[in-house]
Amino acid sequence: MNLTLQVWRQAGPDVPGSFATYEATDISADASFLEMLDLVNERLVLDGDEPIEFSHDCREGICGSCGVMINGVPHGPQRGTATCQLHMRTFADGDEIVIEPWRASGFPIVKDLVVDRSPFDEIIQAGGYVTVDTGQAQDANLTQIPKETADLAMDAAACIGCGACVAACPNGAAQLFTSAKLAHLNLLPQGDAERYERTESMVGVMESYFGSCTNMGECETACPKEISIDFIAMMNKDYVKAKFRNRRSA
Amino acid sequence: MATASPATTATPPPQAPGQVPWIVQLYGTALGKKYAMAISGILGLGYIVAHMVGNLKMYFGAESIDGYSEWLREGLLYPILPHTVMLWILRLGLIAALVVHVHAAYALTVMNRRARPTGYQSERHYVAADFASRTMRWTGVIVLLFIAFHLADLTWGVEAVNPAWEEGAAYANLVASLSRPPVAAFYLLANLALGLHIYHGIWSLFQTLGWNNRRFNSYRRSLAIGVTVVVIGGNLSFPIAVLTGVVG
């Protein structure tokens, strides 16, 4: 396959960037999107140019490191697929592909396609854990959890924290990420005890970095793990309860 | 290394318990403002539905709607309350709801602009965000301007807006106003904007208030479409009826 790439190049956080055009020739349709970028980079290095900087780690869709805007959609055109799992057969020979980093004030650009997503870590630090020791693996079997509840918590826990929800949201809101992290713990008995403290403090950090949800549902379609906005509704309900219950300690 | 810094302090300064009512604290947060928008939106919706149903009386002639408007002013909960008191309670409630709705919308819009100061430099392709949801701010502004015009036109009878206006003559006033094609066109346009606004609003309020149940979720969209079609269909029919001479 031969493709024309328009790639956002930006040397550093505080310098202006712009799109650069690259010809990606002779790309296998079985290559992943990142493998295609590897090939382009290899040729750039051989020509003595700076390679395109992009984040990646596991390349099997579970680490959440990769993720760029591909033709105006986070993680590209295929639903429920992270950038690393997107294959070039999704595109047609001769296509032009525009690649841009996530844009959000919470995700400043580090270089080229790399953004700093540490606000997500701060949201987790604010309550994305259970403070007591919940035991070893076998201890999990001592707590009876209905299958439906376990499945729902697992759906939420599938979040890999890639930031596509923020990137997709016209408001730059991080509701899908935060609500998934909340639901993952709040639905289970081990997490339920700290449900309201957790909800209030994680939402507080989220709001200090990101925008506000207007229920457009764009995040849900961009999420590589297809996490449902039903979790956002759950978070909204819990937050008001939390504010009421925690009112004496505020 | 670029690092993001929070736009506001992550943890608010500690407050003495009970110093600020929790509901005020809640409104201080973005999620709280969304709640306020949903609840004030429900009040507005209730009013819009009642307003449309009441206006249907124009199809039964001048006496019917004039009597109805007289009853709204004088007869609501009378004699439990003196004349016009209940009307003013409703009016003040609606004004409060409108103020809260607009203030929260403004504050959240500022927050959202700040959350993405530099937009995408390439063309953005939306998958789920429909026209109605992306134009809420604009349809909201159109509706706000329309409310001001509509009050001047048919409630206050401002000379420059509706010179033929007369106190108590609801039927004659609306016929005089809507038989002017530019005014009728503005009423039609504003109601289309209102339709887009409530179509997204009705669906959205369920999410905001956390009224989410997988058994009923599929009905939320149908409810939004149904209410919008009935209310806006009724509202659009009034200027058309006057222009075509059905009413008048």
What does the pLDDT look like over A196-227, one tens digit per residue?
999 999 999 999 999 999 999 999 999 999 99
Strands A69-70 and A73-74, by their bridges, are antiparallel
- Residues of chain B in contact with residue A222, where contact means CB-CB under 8 angstroms, are 127
CA–CA distance, A235 with A186 (Å, rounded to integer): 10
- Find all residues with CB under 8 Å of B244, minimum gap 6, and list them: none
**B1, B120, B133: residue with CB nearest A216:** B133
Average pLDDT, chain B: 93
- Residues of chain B in contact with residue A220, where contact means CB-CB under 8 angstroms, are 128
Mind telling me how many Å the CA of B118 is from chain A's nearest CA?
7
| Alpha carbon of residue B198 to chain centroid | 7
- Residues of chain B in contact with residue A230, where contact means CB-CB under 8 angstroms, are 212, 214, 217
The pLDDT score that the predictor gives to residue A86 is 97
Mind telling me how many Å the CA of A38 is from chain B's nearest CA?
22
Q: What is A118-245's CATH topology?
A: Fumarate Reductase Iron-sulfur Protein; Chain B, domain 2 (1.10.1060)
A164-185 residues labelled b (16+ CB within 10 A) or e (exposed) = bbbbbbbbbbbbbbbbbbbbbb
Mind telling me how many Å the CA of A62 is from chain B's nearest CA?
23
- Chain B residue whose CA is closest to A241: B26
**ipTM confidence score:** 0.93
CA–CA distance, A19 with A34 (Å, rounded to integer): 18
Q: What is the mean pLDDT of residues B223-231?
A: 98
Q: In chain A, where does the domain assigned CATH 1.10.1060.10 lie?
A: 118-245
**A122, A234, A236: residue with CB nearest B208:** A236
Mind telling me how many Å the CA of A64 is from chain B's nearest CA?
19
Query: Angle at the Cα of B85 (from B50 to B49), degrees rounded to 5?
Result: 5
A211·B114 Cβ contact <8 A: yes
Q: What is the mean pLDDT of residues B62-86?
A: 93
Q: In chain A, where does the domain assigned CATH 3.10.20.30 lie?
A: 3-114
Backbone region of residue A163 per phi and psi (left: phi > 0; alpha: psi in -120 to 50; beta: other values): left
**B6, B112, B207: residue with CB nearest A211:** B112
CA–CA distance, B104 with B33 (Å, rounded to integer): 5
State both tokens at B150: 């509509």
Segment (H or E) for A110: strand A109-111
Mind telling me how many Å the CA of A137 is from chain B's nearest CA?
31
Residue of B203, B207, B213, B217 to mutate when probing chain A, most A C-beta within 10 A: B207
A233·B4 Cβ contact <8 A: no
Sign, CA dihedral B77-B80-B84-B87, equals negative
What does the pLDDT look like over A223-244, one tens digit per residue?
999 999 999 999 999 999 999 9
Q: How many Cβ pairs within 8 Å bridge chains A and B?
A: 185
Mind telling me how many Å the CA of A47 is from chain B's nearest CA?
27
pLDDT for A246 beyond 90: no
For the A3-114 domain, the top CATH level (class) is alpha beta
Segment (H or E) for A218: helix A218-222
- Residues of chain B in contact with residue A152, where contact means CB-CB under 8 angstroms, are none
State both tokens at A100: 């841009």
Residue of B37, B127, B133, B197 to mutate when probing chain A, most A C-beta within 10 A: B127
pTM of the entire structure?
0.93
Count, residues in chain B? 248
**B4, B31, B208: residue with CB nearest A108:** B4
Are residues A93 and A2 in contact, defined by beta-carbon separation less than 8 angstroms?
A: yes
CA–CA distance, B130 with B139 (Å, rounded to integer): 14
pLDDT for B13 beyond 70: no
CA–CA distance, A187 with A201 (Å, rounded to integer): 17
B115·A249 Cβ contact <8 A: no
Q: pLDDT-derived band of residue B18, with 50, 70 and 90 as boundaries? A: low
- Residues of chain A in contact with residue B127, where contact means CB-CB under 8 angstroms, are 73, 218, 221-222
Cα pseudo-dihedral B153, B159, B162, B167, rounded to 10: 70
CA–CA distance, A126 with B5 (Å, rounded to integer): 16
CA–CA distance, A113 with B89 (Å, rounded to integer): 56
Mind telling me how many Å the CA of A39 is from chain B's nearest CA?
23
- Residues of chain B in contact with residue A173, where contact means CB-CB under 8 angstroms, are 112, 115
Q: What is the mean pLDDT of residues B233-248?
A: 96
Are residues A8 and A17 in contact, defined by beta-carbon separation less than 8 angstroms?
A: yes
Are residues A108 and B3 in contact, defined by beta-carbon separation less than 8 angstroms?
A: yes
**What is the SS3 assignment for A114?**
strand
Q: pLDDT-derived band of residue A147, with 50, 70 and 90 as boundaries? A: very high
- Chain A residue whose CA is closest to B116: A104
Runs of H (alpha helix) within A7-117: 33-46
- Residues of chain A in contact with residue B35, where contact means CB-CB under 8 angstroms, are 236, 240
The pLDDT score that the predictor gives to residue A57 is 97
Could you give the angle at which helices A118-125 and A175-186 cross, rounded to 10 degrees?
30
Query: Angle at the Cα of B147 (from B142 to B153), degrees rounded to 5?
Result: 120
Q: Which residue has the tokens 């016009």?
A: B84
CA–CA distance, A40 with A38 (Å, rounded to integer): 5
A19·B122 Cβ contact <8 A: yes
The domains of chain B, with CATH numbers, are: 27-114+133-243 (1.20.1300.10)
Q: How far is CA B46 from CA A123, B65, B86, B93, B202, in A?
A: 38, 20, 16, 12, 11
Are residues B227 and B202 in contact, defined by beta-carbon separation less than 8 angstroms?
A: yes
